[in-house]
Amino acid sequence: MQLILVLIAALGGAEACQRERTFKSHFSHNHVKRQASNVPFPPSLDANEQVLVNSFDNTSISQWSYYYTHGAHLAGQNKTMAQWTADKWAEYGFTSRLDEYYVYLNYPVSHSLQLTYPNGTIFTASLQEEVLAVDETTSYPNRIPTFHGYSFTGNASAEYVYVGRGQQVDFERLIALGVELEGKIAVAKYGGPFRGLKVKNSQEHGMIGTVIFTDPSDDGNITEAKGVVAYPNGPARNPTTVQRGSVQFLSIYPGDPTTPGYTSKEDSPRADKSNSVPHIPSLPISWVDAQPILEALNGYGTAGVEVNRSGWVGAIPGVNYSTGQGSPATLSLTNVMEDHTTWIWDAVGIINGTNQDEVIIVGNHRDAWIVGGAADPNSGSSVLIELSKAFGQLLQTGWKPTRTIVLCSWDAEEYGLVGSTEWVEEYIPWLKGAAVSNLNIDVAVSGPIPGIAATPDLHNISTEVMKKVIWPYRGTTNRTMYDVWIEEDGEIGVLGSGSDYTAFVHRGIGAIDMGAGGGPTDPVYHYHSNYDSYHWMSTFGDPGFISHEAIGQYLTLLLYHLADDAVLPLEPAMYSSELQTYFEDLNTTLGEYNATLDLSELSTAIATFNTSAQEFNALREFAITSNDADLVTVQNHKARDFSRGFTSQGGLPGREFFQNLIFAPGLDTGYAPVTFPAITESITFAGNETLAQEWVGKTAKAIGLAAAILKT
């Protein structure tokens, strides 16, 4: 039961690159599941929509995918691929360029991990993924080692402790159990919070290193232990899979850690990065490397079942997931990274609209931890090339968009949303005035089930467009994306973090993140592993590239409507009911924490917003019926601008980058969202009612400002 919930919860939002299957955060609210309606089939499309949809071709998508997944493209290391992307867009009619930033990155040099048993015997971890003959890119001589981006160069030799998922509550439990942490090495399980926060929490408890392992328990029933054959011969996880990834403190500060709040140019002043990257070393490992390490803790300290925390006990054979207190076994790890301040390249492609003060930004990152990256991120990259080709077809009919379309292929997302954050920091004056929405597609496809997460203003259009797309699903071709989504998910997620929409949302720009992922019976997606390859994708993930085609058509039609509908299809009024739900969630949280706050200012602000949104709708309706184009423009601009009001210049307490007062990544989750974050976390983390009450006032003011923008 628990497991089903976990797996289904993972579908609630789109699969983002920095996101894995996770528990739904306690503080994220459960959206009401939408009801199916009678969706016409096949969908009826107008002439332009037909041109766009018919341009999609699974064979050319597979070619783009093949290109992106057959050359190393770690952040800052493949300008050729950036230029190729820009050139493709240019070929289809976009004006393209590369925007360069000069950023701090680090690259792996060497590493090692040894377990010393009490009798002196040594086990040396392989720290490598197996080379597979059928999967050609796993044997490339320039394949990328297993490592953590932005990890600390250093050695650690000590006794070690199993710390579960490595969230603050896990450490609190260990302390309650009397486990000594100071001076020890943490062994943490992947899943739950963003990996950098596991390292941060270890570091804050005086630990000197962190080893993070993948556990087959996160694969549900699709495991070798349950008789399923592993990749490359079957859909279960290859046991040598290692999850690479960044250990930046994502919930504190994304972007180049040395230029907080401003863009990274060659001569930009460089700030101290110690608040946003670790100062203890860390390594990612496979479950086969983790097995002897954890087994050596069996019988020491508290056994896993007695620790009694959800997600603590995994499924590695022979392992009891004991805390390990008192085990004489030791670990010795080394991690050598090379620091660079170096160039990264964002490819940018533009079609000018008639109204250049209304801009839709479509983004996908290009960099990957591995030579492949067939799902993360290059399923999205392939879709963007195909999208540009579709718009190229439409341009040839003489069409020109009402609004400006900007395509962005971000670099260095994987290290910490670097390419998108630096770009937003550079163009913020223009974006504040002109940006309508950011459409993000990171892992476009890692399985067959569509999912979206979006700001409320985009809820209506994002579900309406689903009704226009045929979604091939488990052998059927007679349903729309909407039908499949309703059946399998039907909830629009709240945006936390983990992909490139973050800098937009936290500057008050509405956004959607989309992608298709696997359910509990689908092949296991090898996230940030060499097996996220073209071979895996074409054999298990999306044979025939049919889900690529469908999600690409969806993004294309969504972009088309946002860029070309005379009446901008945003619904500010959708915030009213969402804000009310977040309010009730906050009230529940306050109850759980025995906190007493006066929420009247907040409820008044939500009511004011509701009134303004209704007035906005009435005036927009009047503009339409009276055919008043100027008034339509005025209303379009209000819909474009109102969500800027939700931001606070100074940011959330202790993390000034995150300015959105309605939703943010949780301080100790990194991926999963928290609503009314400043108020909520002043209670749940700071335990400071005075602070929380101050933020009730500031949050109410922000909502009032959004309401005022809609009204004027």
Q: How far is the CB of 464 from Zn ion (least distance, A)?
A: 27
Going by C-alpha positions, the residue among 108, 107, 84, 104 that lies closest to residue 96 is 84
Q: Which stretch binds ligand NAG (CB under 6 A): 413-421, 474-482, 662-670, 695-703?
A: 474-482
Residue ranges in 199-228 that form contacts with ligand NAG under rule CB under 6 A: 220-221
DSSP for residue 518: -
634: buried, middle or exposed (CB in 10 Å: 19+, 13-18, 0-12)?
A: middle
Among Zn ion, ligand NAG, none, partner that 442 touches (CB below 5 to 8 angstroms by kind): Zn ion
Q: Is 317 in the site for ligand NAG (CB under 6 A)?
A: no
**Near ligand NAG by CB under 6 A: residue from 172, 338, 339, 584:** 584
- CB-nearer residue toward Zn ion: 82 or 296: 82
Measured torsion, CA atoms of residues 397, 399, 404, 406, in degrees rounded to the nearest 10: -10
Q: Are 162 and 291 in contact (CB under 8 A)?
A: no
Could you tell me the two tokens for 644?
């800027």
- Of 413, 425, 549, 601, the catalytic one is 413
Q: How far is the CB of 407 from ligand NAG (least distance, A)?
A: 14
Q: Residue with CB nearest ligand NAG?
A: 71
Give per-residue burial for 281-293: e unless 16+ CB within 10 Å, then b.
bbbbbbbbbbbeb
Q: How far is the CB of 363 from ligand NAG (least distance, A)?
A: 19
Q: Which stretch binds ligand NAG (CB under 6 A): 74-82, 433-441, 626-634, 636-644?
A: 74-82
Rounded Cα–Cα distance for residues 154 and 132 (Å): 32
Among Zn ion, ligand NAG, none, partner that 155 touches (CB below 5 to 8 angstroms by kind): ligand NAG
Query: 322 Cβ partners below 8 Å, 6+ apart?
Result: 162, 297, 298, 299, 300, 301, 302, 303, 304
Q: Is 691 in the site for ligand NAG (CB under 6 A)?
A: yes
- CB-nearer residue toward ligand NAG: 43 or 670: 43
Sign of the CA dihedral 526, 312, 585, 653?
negative
Q: Are 95 and 391 in contact (CB under 8 A)?
A: no
Q: Is 71 in the site for ligand NAG (CB under 6 A)?
A: yes
Task: Examine the residue annotation and report whether 295 is marked as an active-site residue of this protein.
Answer: no
Q: Is 334 in the site for ligand NAG (CB under 6 A)?
A: yes
Q: Is 377 in the site for Zn ion (CB under 5 A)?
A: yes
Q: How many CB atoms lie within 10 A of CB 561?
A: 18
Cα→Cα distances 21→17, 147, 632, Å: 11, 20, 43
Rounded Cα–Cα distance for residues 645 and 370 (Å): 40
Q: Which stretch binds ligand NAG (CB under 6 A): 58-66, 180-188, 206-214, 526-534?
A: 58-66
Per residue, what are the HEC states of 31-77?
A: CCCCCCCCCCCCCCCCHHHHHHHHHCCHHHHHHHHHHHCCCCCCCCC
Per residue, what are the HEC states of 344-407?
A: EEEEEEEECCCEEEEEEEEEEECCCCCCCCCCCCHHHHHHHHHHHHHHHHHHHCCCCCCEEEEE
Q: Is 688 in the site for ligand NAG (CB under 6 A)?
A: yes
Among ligand NAG, Zn ion, none, partner that 299 touches (CB below 5 to 8 angstroms by kind): ligand NAG
| DSSP symbols for 498-512 | SSTTHHHHTTT-EEE
| DSSP symbols for 143-171 | PPPS-EETPPPEEEEEEEEE-TT--HHHH
**Near ligand NAG by CB under 6 A: residue from 117, 262, 399, 685:** 117
Q: How far is the CB of 312 from ligand NAG (least distance, A)?
A: 11
Among Zn ion, ligand NAG, none, partner that 51 touches (CB below 5 to 8 angstroms by kind): none
Q: Is 376 in the site for Zn ion (CB under 5 A)?
A: yes
Give per-residue burial for 365-383: e unless 16+ CB within 10 Å, then b.
bbbbbbbbbbbbbbbbbbb
Q: Which stretch binds ligand NAG (CB under 6 A): 77-85, 283-291, 526-534, 639-647?
A: 77-85
Rounded Cα–Cα distance for residues 171 and 163 (Å): 7
Q: How far is the CB of 435 from ligand NAG (least distance, A)?
A: 15
Q: Are 129 and 371 in contact (CB under 8 A)?
A: no
Q: Which stretch binds Zn ion (CB under 5 A): 230-238, 348-356, 435-443, 566-574?
A: 435-443
| Structural element, H or E, at residue 99 | strand 95-116
Q: Is 600 in the site for ligand NAG (CB under 6 A)?
A: no
Q: How many CB atoms lie within 10 A of CB 339?
A: 10
Angle ∠(219,225,229) on CA atoms, nearest 5: 80
Q: How far is the CB of 500 from ligand NAG (least distance, A)?
A: 20
Q: Which stretch binds ligand NAG (CB under 6 A): 43-51, 114-122, 643-651, 670-678?
A: 114-122
Q: How far is the CB of 48 from ligand NAG (least distance, A)?
A: 21
Task: State the binding string over 343-382 for ligand NAG (x if CB under 6 A, else -).
Answer: ---------x---x--------------------------
**Near ligand NAG by CB under 6 A: residue from 206, 317, 544, 654:** 544
Q: How far is the CB of 678 from ligand NAG (least distance, A)?
A: 11
Q: Is 17 in the site for Zn ion (CB under 5 A)?
A: yes
Q: Is 442 in the site for Zn ion (CB under 5 A)?
A: yes
- CB-nearer residue toward Zn ion: 135 or 442: 442
Cα→Cα distances 340→80, 150, 260, Å: 20, 11, 17
Residue ranges in 148-207 that form contacts with ligand NAG under rule CB under 6 A: 154-155
Q: How far is the CB of 566 from ligand NAG (least distance, A)?
A: 21
Q: Are 347 and 409 in contact (CB under 8 A)?
A: yes
> Which residue type, as a one-letter code, is found at position 611?
T
Question: Which stretches of the chain bind Zn ion, using CB under 5 A?
Answer: 17, 376-377, 442
Residues in contact with ligand NAG by CB under 6 A are 3-4, 7, 58-59, 62, 67-68, 70-73, 78, 80-81, 95, 117, 119, 121, 154-155, 220-221, 298-299, 308, 320, 334, 352, 356, 476, 478-479, 520, 544-545, 584, 587, 591, 593-594, 688, 690-691, 694
Q: Which residues are catalytic?
A: 413
